[in-house]
Chain A
Amino acid sequence: MGVEQKLGNMGVVTTTLEQTVNWARTNAMWPMLFGLACCAIEMMSAQAAHYDMSRFGMELMRASPRQSDLMIVAGRVSKKMGPVLRRLYEQMPEPKWVIAMGDCASCGGVFNNYAIYQGVDEVVPVDVYVAGCPPRPEALIHGVLTLHEKVKGDKFKDLVKDIK
């Protein structure tokens, strides 16, 4: 990338549109408030001073699905919560991602019974599963960074294919 090095001193960088868009998406990925159980406590901890997710442009937890890009499902999803969760997911504007945080959201965890979905992937498509009961804030941040890696690899031609 010889051009970047030459033009860097002049405050100009050349890159591809794809990279710029993905960079913008990853560095201001606002999560939606979706604390359902004890995982929410770890999610709050990840937001707060000790772990400080705002380092990754995620300081804003939006209460409205219209303003968020990422849904962190933190906790077990009951059969009655499922339709609500799906509806909130559908209200989020594209592009949108989902992290299933913790064992309960990933696979039902210890709640193998009539009231709980055995994994939130039965309700919404999931991008990243974070294991743990509950996962520590580091684990959640690792999940978020894994998602960032995924988003950075997005290609425009795949997006066009999805729209068709």
Chain B
Amino acid sequence: MEKSLEPIVKDLQDKFGVTFEEFRGEVQCIVKPEQIVEALTCLRDDHQFELLSSQTAVDYYPQTSPRFHIIYQMTSLTRNLSVQLRVPVSGDQPKVPTAANVYKTAVWRERELLDMFGIEFEGHPDPRRILMPEGSEGHPLRRDYPLGYEEPQFSFNYEEIDLRKPYAKE
């Protein structure tokens, strides 16, 4: 871990009781869902982490609790530091408080997570899908989402598929 990062992780440990892991110099702090907004605010206001450079999620299916990790990749431009916060959430009705009031970037990021993983962000100002068309079903980046959309049409099953293929009308 970088020397200048140590007091920051220590501060997070004291205030929020986070556990941290280190891999090749990258620090990952595990934060509880109810404390994430305070942790983000603390990093922004006390430690000059101006930028939420990425917000994403991982699906650990078939593990159910926690099934998802929501990842907040934080960058401090003034101090040239980066740290990662991870929030584990369970599989049924995953819910996290929104980070949109701390970082504006989170509005679109959280819409993407809602769209792709079906994670609900409490207090989000605009909870709509962002990539998929409205009215589409399911969340494509979940690992239990079916991989293929349609059976490929070959010569041996051409007619069978041709019967149920939705052709456009004039």
Of B140, B152, B168, the contact of A125 (CB 8 Å cutoff): B168
Nearest-CB distance from A48 to chain B (Å)? 31
User: Which of B150, B166, B170 has most A Cβ within 10 Å?
Assistant: B150
Pair A112/B169 contact, Cβ less than 8 Å: no
- Evaluate contact between A113 and B148: CB separation under 8 angstroms: yes
* Cβ A107 vs Cβ B145 within 8 A: no
Question: Are the C-beta atoms of B169 and A125 separated by less than 8 Å?
Answer: yes
A79 lies within 8 A of B132 (CB): yes
Minimum distance in angstroms from B19 CB to a CB of chain A = 36
CB within 8 Å for A124 and B133 given contacts A114-B149, A118-B150: no
CA distance A79 to B166 in the complex (A): 14
Interface string of A115-128 (1 = CB under 8 A from B): 11011011111000
Q: Is B167 touching A79 in the complex (CB atoms < 8 A)?
A: no
User: Which residues of B have CB within 8 Å of A124?
Assistant: 168
Bound Cα distance A62, B168 (Å): 24
Chain A residues within 8 Å of B149, by CB: 112-114, 116, 118
Q: Could you say which interface size class chain A belongs to? A: 10 to 19
Q: Inside 8 A of A114's CB, which chain B residues have their CB?
A: 132, 136, 138, 140, 145, 149
- Assess A122 versus B153: contact at CB under 8 Å? Given A79-B133, A113-B148, A114-B140: no
B165 at the interface (CB under 8 A from A): yes
CA distance A83 to B166 in the complex (A): 15
- B167 with A112: CB separation less than 8 A: no
Q: Which of B136, B145, B168 has the most CB of A within 10 A?
A: B168
- A20 CB to nearest B CB, Å: 25
Indicate if A50 sits at the interface (CB-CB under 8 A): no
With CB as the reference atom, state the residue of chain B lying closest to A83. Answer: B133
Q: Which residue of B lies closest to A113 (CB)?
A: B149
Closest B residue to A119 by beta carbon equals B165
Residues of A87-133 at the interface with B, using a CB-CB cut-off of 8 Å, are 107-108, 112-116, 118-119, 121-125
Measured CA separation A124–B166 after assembly (Å): 11
Cα–Cα, bound, A118→B161 (Å): 12
* Chain A residues with CB below 8 A from B169, complex form: 125
- Which residue on A lies nearest to B170, using beta carbons? A125
Residues on the B chain within 8 Å of A113, using CB: 140, 147-149
B168 contact from A115, A118, A123, Cβ within 8 A: A123
Q: For the complex, is A157 an interface residue (Cβ under 8 Å from B)?
A: no
CB distance from A138 to the nearest CB of B (A): 25
- Complex interface bits, B17-45 against A, C-beta within 8 A gives 1, otherwise 0: 00000000000000000000000000000
Q: Is the CB of B167 within 8 A of A122?
A: yes
B168 touches A122 (CB 8 A): yes
Jot down 26 A-B pairs with beta carbons below 8 A, ordered by A.
A79-B132, A79-B133, A79-B136, A80-B132, A86-B168, A107-B152, A108-B150, A108-B152, A112-B148, A112-B149, A112-B150, A113-B148, A114-B132, A114-B145, A115-B132, A115-B140, A116-B149, A118-B165, A119-B165, A121-B167, A122-B165, A122-B166, A124-B168, A125-B169, A125-B170, A162-B170
